[in-house]
Amino acid sequence: MAGPRPKKRRHLISKRVAPYLFLAPFTLLFLAFLIAPMVYAFNLAIYRTTVVAGTKFVGADNFIRALGDPKFWQGVIVLLKFAIIQIPGMVAVALLIALILDSGTVYLKSFFRVSLFLPYAVPAVIATLIWGYLYGPAFGPFTQLANALHLPAPDFLAASTVLPSIANIANWEYTGYQMIIYYAALQAIPADLEEAAAMDGANGFIYALKVKLPLIAPMVVVTVIFSIIGSLQLFSEPYLLHNIAPAQISNSYTPNYYAYSLAFSNQQYNYSAAVSFVLGAVTAVISYVFMLIVNRGSRA
Amino acid sequence: MAVIELSNIRKSFGSLNIIGGVDLRIEDGEFVIFVGPSGSGKSTLLRLVAGLEEVTSGNILIDGEDVTDLGPADRSLSMVFQSYALYPHKTVRGNMAFGLEVARTPKAEIERRVQAAAASLRLETYLDRKPKELSGGQRQRVAIGRAIVRDPVAFLFDEPLSNLDAALRAEMRIEIAKLHQRLGATMIYVTHDQVEAMTLADKIVVLKDGAIQQVGSPIDLYEKPANLFVAQFLGSPKMNVFEAAPVNGGLRIAGTGQLDLALAQAGVTKVGARPENITVAAAGQGNIDGKVDVVERLGSDTYAYIALGEGELVTVRLPGNARLSVGETVGLVLDMAELHLFDAEGKALAKI
Amino acid sequence: MTIVGKSKRSPSFRRNRWMLSAILFVIWLYTILPLFYVVVSASKSNNDLFTTFGLWFSSDFHLLQNIHDVFSYQDGIFSRWLLNTIGYATAAGVGAALFSTMAGYALAKYQFFGKRLVFAIILGAVMIPQTALVVPLFLLMSKVGMVNTPWAVILPSLVFPPGVFLMRVYADDAIPNELIDAGRVDGAGEFHIFSALTLRLLMPGFATVLILAFVATWNNYFLPLVVLSSAEYFPVTVGLAQWYATATVGSGGGAALFTLVLAGALLSIVPVIIAFIVMQRFWQGGLGAGGVKA
């Protein structure tokens, strides 16, 4: 019969081509706005443009310069310190909140869950400027309180405290988000596991420590990796706070900020691209190494 | 070892009454099975004994001690869950050792007990595997091992075999029976499967809508059911139940049939006969006549479904390969000695 | 603390409950502090900002006046910024969700040549710091004359690799293969199967990606900062930051901007916060689905 056969052929083609068509919009945009800039950045980085000599090919010069640039490495050190200060605290608090909410013992669970997540809805820029005011010597409430109690006003933006202050802003912004992820992971643990543990004599605390935490550990690792990637990209907070603490926060405070300043204050686009590239490479390497360490640990 | 007593146990969730006034005594070393349809409260009752749920009122005593306010672990009980509830991140050894670790048992003692339990359940080679690497039957054995290791005064089983396939279920049933023989411990077991109930139990507790229908040994419940529900719940295929009305000289059953009883019991409204207690004779030669509707031949038995007037089917079990054909009109002969009589409320009346 | 079997009336349970609630409450206070501060400050006059206690209201409730000032400052550019932000975020949110859903669906439910490679590349892309691409993106876009237009913000924001991840996991989980097979047997084309049968099953995941992409675009600062130069195209983040910079660098005249900045901040976070509270159901479920498996 001639009827069914042509239809069948049409379907087979459709089935083979369909996935590519479904992927097409995303892939095209991906190529245009993620891959192309990457390629272009590399292209930029291997040239140098000066007013005098025009544009010429310089190979790896810019990269080598970046790798030897003290400002770049100071920025990297700032990032590493930042990550070490910020991430453990955030993860610990997020886990604590998630465990408390999951234990089902507190009142107003839903209310806490939603309100603790709200900072995620606040743009980093706005969070920074709000905290900037909170920190501020002019009318920050902490300064006011200190004055009222005749205590020395805390200086949140001194050279030694500026990084923890920035870390605090990041904590405030992202703890809720981490908490929601951990909470969802905890909720996925079957309920009868808790009953089995109860029969085994474990109270809630022991159960949380010895069963819940190990079970969500893989999830925690994933979020830590993403947090590391995120913290290596620090820009908005130092950029905004630069205005109220220019001495403590230079315009090369973080590598991203440095790349930005090179491009827009100094017009050094080529070198800026190289710096961005090296930062990207460093980030990728650190994340990959971290993943390997953890994977090997979990497989052992 | 433990004598467990339940005294006027009630459980309600809000306004919903799950268990209404249950009294029960379980002797030391008994294998007791709670059986009933879903919603009967059997799992709830088990969980109340376990301490996983709190009673609304009533008392639970273990060896004379009131444990009603104690948590699960303090009652010295172990439970095997329907879904095994093994800790996914721990090895088999870790799963079995967990409870003992929580109780701060010395390591050497933990190791000894885990080894012994593993040996008795043939799990030694699996001790270092994780649950996800094990089959369903193996996981079930680990769950049992975890229960054994704590040396409880009684074991609780919550439908442990429901998640296994038929062949494995039969195998594990024997395993559990042997476990009981070996340990001699008190065991409370919940199932909806009456085959498990009949084969494993020393004592069966039939539950319906949160109330005990009858308590007794499997054979007692089978041969002398206290009410219609128990009569039809145990035994497969189900007992046939006929409408009955008193008539001169006996009972009129199913509208058309006739039962000659020396003394017809007053108040009989229903009569029950199990499939194996009915035989087939020529039309007109039995108590009721009917037409053969479906015949199932299993080789060892034949199940014949005989249609009476209004389309109700009577199930008859005949040995071997019976000579019946579909459409044939036959007479059903009810074994008088094995008749069950019920009143309007479904309660069983003594046979005369 | 487990509630299994434990009497809700027992003293240890109640003690735990109070202790844990207290810990939660302290954390909650810390979380609410800046938000409360914004509300309080935005309701003060400039003078009161400096003279009254930062964490409580002044007697002069100035909020409406401040809001009015925000919308009238610089010829009402703030409303423009708000509209821009809503536009960018909505376009990016919907677009990213749609494209991520299609891509995730393809990766989850089809076998095709290059599938592993595609997935590995997307995975790798998540590792690349987005900010490292912004400057080169700016230069690229200026070559094609795309800078300083809304597209400069929207188009890059449509690329949302985490969304593809999430949808792949979600599609894998939520759509039984039999459903697709049944559709094929019934003679439906692949796209018809997608739109008529599977899309509604993917809705929770779609909604989650939409919200995540929406928030990411709404909060984005670096990208619009770099690619936009005209204030009329600014989203609220860039615009407000500019006011803030002016307010802090200058003195005297700049100081008057403080209340404006704070009131502007309040106005820019209130819509998203309300949206979050209203849309609770969606993001709580969706984040769970992807989050657990990822």
Residue C52, pLDDT score:
73
Tell me the count of B-C CB pairs closer than 8 A.
12
CATH of span A63-299: 1.10.3720.10
| Structural domain ending residue among the three candidates C24, C40, C65 | C65
**C293, pLDDT greater than 60:** no
Where are the CATH 3.40.50.300 domain residues in chain B? 4-233
Question: Hey, are the CB atoms on A193 and B77 less than 8 Å from each other?
Answer: no
The chain B residue lying nearest C10, using CA atoms, is B69
Task: Looking at the structure, tell me whether residues C125 and C222 fall in a common domain.
Answer: yes
Note whether B187 and B32 are within 8 A (CB): yes
- Contact (CB<8Å) C5/B71: yes
In a domain, C45, yes or no: yes
Concatenating the DSSP letter of every residue in C81-116 gives HHHHHHHHHHHHHHHHHHHHHHHHHHHHH---TTHH
pLDDT digits (tens, 9 = 90+) for A170-220: 999 999 989 988 988 898 888 889 999 999 988 888 999 999 999 998 889
Is a pLDDT exceeding 60 seen at residue A5?
A: no
Same domain for C167 and C222: yes
Six-digit token string for C213: 């992409």
Q: Which residues contact C42 (CB under 8 A, 6 or more apart)?
A: C63, C66, C67, C259, C262, C263, C265, C266
B6, pLDDT greater than 70: yes
**What ipTM score was computed for the predicted complex, to two decimals?**
0.82
Note the pLDDT tens digit of each residue in A108-120.
888 888 889 889 8
Name the 3-class secondary structure at B330. strand
At residue B157, the pLDDT reads 95
Q: Is A54 helix (H, G, I), strand (E, B) or coil?
A: strand
| Contact between B85 and A198 using a beta-carbon 8 Å cutoff | no
Residue C204 lies in a domain: yes
Tell whether C223 and C111 lie within a shared domain.
yes
Q: Is the Cβ of B79 closer than 8 Å to some Cβ of chain A?
A: yes
With CB atoms and an 8 Å threshold, state whether A115 touches C28: yes
pLDDT at C263 over 80: yes
**Contact assessment for residue B7 and residue B58, using Cβ atoms and an 8 Å cutoff:** yes
User: Is the same domain home to C96 and C44?
Assistant: no
How many CB atoms neighbour CB A109 within 10 A?
A: 16
B85 interfacial to chain C (CB closer than 8 Å): no
Distance from C-alpha of C132 to C-alpha of C65, rounded to nearest angstrom = 41
Amino acid, res. B13: F
**CATH assignment of B4-233?**
3.40.50.300
Q: Does B51 touch chain C (CB under 8 A)?
A: yes
**Exposure of C115 in the CB half-sphere (CA atoms within 13 A):** 17
CB contacts of C1 in chain B (<8 Å) are none
Does residue C33 form part of some domain?
A: yes
Distance in angstroms (rounded) separating the CA atoms of residues A289 and A208? 29
Please report all neighbours of C, defined by 3+ CB atom pairs within 8 A.
A, B
C7 CB within 8 Å of a chain B CB = yes
**CA of B85, closest CA in chain C: separation in Å?**
15
| Closest to C262 in 3D by CA, of C282, C240, C284 | C240
**Mean pLDDT of the residues in chain C:** 82
* Contacts made by residues C252-256, CB under 8 angstroms, sequence distance 24+: C255/C46, C256/C46
Judged by a CB distance cut-off of 8 A, whether residue B72 touches chain A is yes
Give the closest of A193, A198, A199 to B87, CB-based.
A193
* C49 contacts in chain A (CB < 8 Å): 139
Asked if C5 lies within 8 A of B51 by C-beta distance, the reply is yes
Contact A202 B87 (CB under 8 A): no
Same domain, C117 and C239: yes
Q: Mutate which of B13, B54, B55, B57 to test chain C, going by most C C-beta atoms within 10 A?
A: B54
In a mutational test of the A interface, the residue from C9, C14, C25, C31 whose CB has the highest number of chain A CBs within 10 Å is C31
Please give the pLDDT value at position C47: 73
Q: How far is CA B274 from CA B127, B225, B239, in A?
A: 48, 12, 4
The larger pLDDT score, comparing residue A154 to residue B17, is at B17
Query: How many structural domains compose chain C?
Result: 2
Nearest to C140 among A11, A37, A120 (CB): A37
Interval B260-296: pLDDT, tens: 765 556 778 888 899 999 999 888 888 888 899 999 9
Tens of pLDDT along B215-225?
999 999 999 99
C220 lies in which domain range?
66-284
**CATH 2.40.50.140 domain extents, chain B:** 240-349
- The gap from C-alpha B330 to its chain's centroid, in whole angstroms, comes to 35
Tokens read off for B211: 């109330």
Do both C134 and C158 map to the same domain? Answer: yes
Give the pLDDT band (50/70/90) at residue B233. very high
Burial A214-223 (b: 16+ CB within 10 A, else e): ebbeebbbbb
Residue B282 and residue B295 in contact, taking contact as beta carbons nearer than 8 Å? no
pTM, two decimals, is 0.83
Q: What is the pLDDT of residue B61?
A: 93
Distance CA B7, CA B57 (A): 9
The per-residue pLDDT for range B37-93, each reduced to its tens digit, is 988 999 999 999 999 988 999 999 999 899 998 888 789 899 999 989 999 999 999
* C152 & C183 share domain: yes
Residue C287: predicted pLDDT: 53
What is the CATH class of B240-349?
A: mainly beta
Same-domain pairing of C194 and C258: yes
Q: For chain B, what is the mean pLDDT?
A: 89
For residues C56 and C71, membership in a common domain is answered with no
Does B83 touch chain A if contact means CB atoms closer than 8 Å?
A: yes
